[in-house]
Amino acid sequence: MADMQEQASQLSGVTLEGDDFTSLLQKEFKPKTEEAKSAVEQAVQTLAQQALAGTAVIGQDVVKTIEAMVAELDRKLTEQINLILHHEDFQKLEGAWRGLHYLVNNTETDEMLKIRVMNITKKELHKTLKRYKGTAWDQSPLFKRIYEEEYGQFGGEPFGCLVGDYYFDQSPPDVELLGEMAKVSAAAHCPFIAGASPTVMQMDSWQELANPRDLTKIFLTPEYAAWRSLRESDDARYLGLAMPRFLARQPYGARTNPVDEFDFEEDTGAADHSKYAWANAAYAMATNINRSFKMYGWCSRIRGIESGGAVEGLPVHTFPTDDGGVDMKCPTEIAISDRREAELAKNGFMPLIHRKNSDFAAFIGAQSLQKPF
């Protein structure tokens, strides 16, 4: 710090009067008065101070000076990387890749179990299916890929499940897309599983899930007319919406998730929910489906704590509290009670339930979006 203060005092006294650069500027601008000439000299001095502002002065202890310089670089890098990691667009991208990474790493593939990835955004998928809406639904490229080229082809390899890294609510575009996907899935007997957005229940985040007294009343308003019609359709049995998201990784830090390249501590604030990397719960359900198929040749054991619904080894992050204790960030966004889980299942969702003070969660049920009769 003393070296940096010494540097600042040296910079404050920088003068470049009469040097070559000043002469060149004076020749270019041709100041006609002493006042104008002084202004040019002052501008050069200011420019020099700004140019040298980021330099460090080497003191007598060279090692300590270099360590201080490295620490300052790490600090600046930490600020910049934190801004990148916590940007909304980057969080979506990281969550998608880490969710896929989770699925691939927890699936034992072989000649009977394969994972195929289709790179298409939710908007592109909706635009494509909307073009073939109505009686032309079976002419869409997706139908041809899922049904005609595999399920309806002698010697084909039918898809067992479609997983969409998307989030759906009751908005007209989302209901329309779910309806079109239900047709394709029903034709190929291939369930489509995606994520439920908290906006489907008029919430900004799943952390608000404990607030409403009765979830069912939310879906009885006129705004949900199309949503209710979708749930009452026969093809809705091939749709599944999982929620909430699960923690995709621990925050970076020396004690949690070390970074080798430089001294980086990810700033999560006071366990600020928006500063964590979250992955779609549909990936967790897909992992259970693959595990069941691998072990039993059938995707029936995918729900229940001891009957295939377990999601183990979730990332866990602990943080100090204001009262001096230690708390744990819920790796599934929010802890869901058994009563609320039953409400969610009744309304067509697949909730992921976290076991308190552990890295374990489970899908208690595997309810499709279709409304029970």
- Output the CA–CA distances (angstroms, integers) from residue 30 to 15, 22, 36, 53, in the order listed: 20, 11, 9, 29
Name which of 64, 63, 57, 21 is nearest 40 in CA terms.
21
Nearest-angstrom CA–CA distance, 41 and 21: 10
Q: Quote the pTM value.
A: 0.83
Q: Are 52 and 70 a contacting pair, CB within 8 Å?
A: no
Q: Are 251 and 268 a contacting pair, CB within 8 Å?
A: yes
For residue 250, pLDDT beyond 50: yes
Q: Which percentage of the chain shows pLDDT scores above 70?
A: 88
For residue 6, pLDDT beyond 80: no
Dump pLDDT digits (tens) for 260-293: 988 899 999 878 899 999 999 999 999 999 999 9
